[in-house]
Amino acid sequence: MDLHVLLTTIIQIFAILNPISVMPTFLSLTEGRDDEEVQKIVKTVTVAMLLLMTLFSVTGKFLLMVLGVTVTGMKIGGGLILAVLAVDMLQGMPRTKEVEEEELAVVPLTTPLLVGPGTMTTILVLSTEYTTKYGFLTASAMLVISSLVVTVLTHLILSNSSKIRGVLGMNGLRGLSRFMAIIVAAVAADMLTSGLTDWLTGIGMLR
């Protein structure tokens, strides 16, 4: 298992998932609730996140095969989605416009705010690429480990969101969120470049 690739994968997934940008919404939705209830919500979010990401990590390549989607197409489509997401993050726009109070731990906190289209697309693309390069077991292990690490980090951030807001303030949170957006934009550019290169090679315009 390539530790450098593993670390890069963790950073990519964490940046795209971007729990820091979700903190203001989380604090707003949990305002007025006692600490025990807040921690229960965080635990539900943690379990739901890990289940979703593990599912896409293990079934990524098979899912694309069933849907008849090529890796090249997924890279280009995923790159476009991430590019739009990065712009939204830079502008401070919410990833969902309507918030339902019922089952808020799963919807909207887990999905689409945390494990949204960008996160799912990234894991699907990486699953396919890594399976081709390293084999199914190694690819799945790398993505599941990455998902677990990101889930733990997200759990810690949400559990201590009030303390983090007290230390950084809202401007500090916005600054960190913008930094994550730059990383997402870079991942989008790499994904688009790789997809377009594969496509141009496939039609004989590149060698």
**Mean model confidence pLDDT for the chain:** 86
Q: What pLDDT is attached to residue 94?
A: 52
| Cβ-defined contacts of 47-51 (< 8 Å, 24+) | 48/105, 48/106, 48/110, 48/111, 48/115, 49/110, 49/114, 49/115, 49/147, 49/151, 49/154, 50/147, 50/148, 50/151
Query: Half-sphere exposure of residue 192, counting CA atoms within 13 Å on the CB side?
Result: 12
Instruction: Reply yes or no: is the peptide bond before residue 117 cis, omega within 30 of 0.
Output: no
Q: What pLDDT is attached to residue 108?
A: 75
- The rounded Cα 104 to chain-centroid distance in angstroms is 18
Question: Does residue 92 have a pLDDT over 70?
Answer: no
Crossing angle (nearest 10°) for helices 161-202 and 117-134 = 50
Q: Quote the pTM value.
A: 0.81
Tokens of 6: 């593993």
Per-residue confidence at 95, pLDDT binned at 50, 70, 90?
A: low
CA–CA separation, 28 vs 30, rounded Å?
6
pLDDT tens for 108-138 read: 789 878 997 788 889 998 998 899 899 999 9
Question: Does residue 157 have a pLDDT over 70?
Answer: yes
158 close to 45: Cβ distance less than 8 angstroms: yes
State whether the Cα torsion 66-142-126-46 is positive or negative: positive
pLDDT tens for 163-207 read: 998 998 888 888 887 888 888 788 889 889 988 998 888 887 776
pLDDT tens for 25-73 read: 798 778 888 899 999 999 999 999 999 999 999 998 888 888 888 878 8
Tokens of 186: 């870079």
